[in-house]
Copies of this chain bind each other. A is one copy, B any other.
């Protein structure tokens, strides 16, 4: 059981948004899909969910080809940038309508979430603020109960309390009954402890797809005088460097070389910093 992305390529005019992308999203896992603005995250999620079409390549969901295949596409729900409901529809009408297309949609759960977030069921979609539009989309996504949920920027415009509430609800739901969640977000620190696997996309190509723990265990930073750091990093897989008031910090892939410690200071890199080093160059 998985989503298989095979050799997907997509151009917008002359711009190559995705370049021969292949990867697998296994079942019952929480993925972080990370990338800079314009890297191709939303394009990938929109192709997986049949909202736009690839130039070439295939998507399969639990072994079924996804292209215009309702049985396959019905196994996932994608919360995206756009709202696909009529603007003048009220929230409670959306709930009814969604239940028609997703029979597992849990109306009672959706109503309890709406109450927790302070989302009023009588509101029309067009009257929602940026934050509440996101909350509305989240409430639906968290209630459809499909095996795969794709969340493109799930905390866009949410205040800190509501972001916390969302993370807590997501984890609780996942702990009770695991499913696959793909989260694309720019607030990496906030999801760093939530995600199990990290997929990093850069300029339309996957540059990393592995367990978060493994990725973090295979990178470190070393700080000290520029001379000592440069001597240490020679021949190592250097991601990047920073200079701050005479102190040089280098970010390196691999394991620290304990023999040559001396005046050098070794440290772990957090996911946000590692992401910046991997995508900056």
Residue positions of A touching B, CB distance < 8 A:
12, 35-38, 42, 81, 118, 127, 129-132, 135, 153, 156-163, 186-188, 272, 275-276, 279-280
Contact = CB atoms under 8 A, between A and B. Distances in A.
Contacts of A158: 37, 186
B161 A280 contact: yes
Nearest to A127: B12
Given A37-B162, A135-B37, A280-B161, A81 B156 contact: no
Listed residue (A156, A161, A186, A275) with the most chain B CB atoms within 10 angstroms of its CB: A186
Nearest to A80: B130
Contacts of A37: 118, 129, 131-132, 135, 157-159, 162
Contacts of A81: 129-130
Nearest to A273: B160
Nearest to A81: B130
B186 A160 contact: yes
B127 A153 contact: no
A279 to B, nearest CB: 8
A156 B37 CA distance: 11
A55 to B, nearest CB: 16
Contacts of A275: 160
A129 B81 CA distance: 8
A186 B12 CA distance: 32
A127 B17 CA distance: 12
B188 A160 contact: yes
A97 B231 CA distance: 55
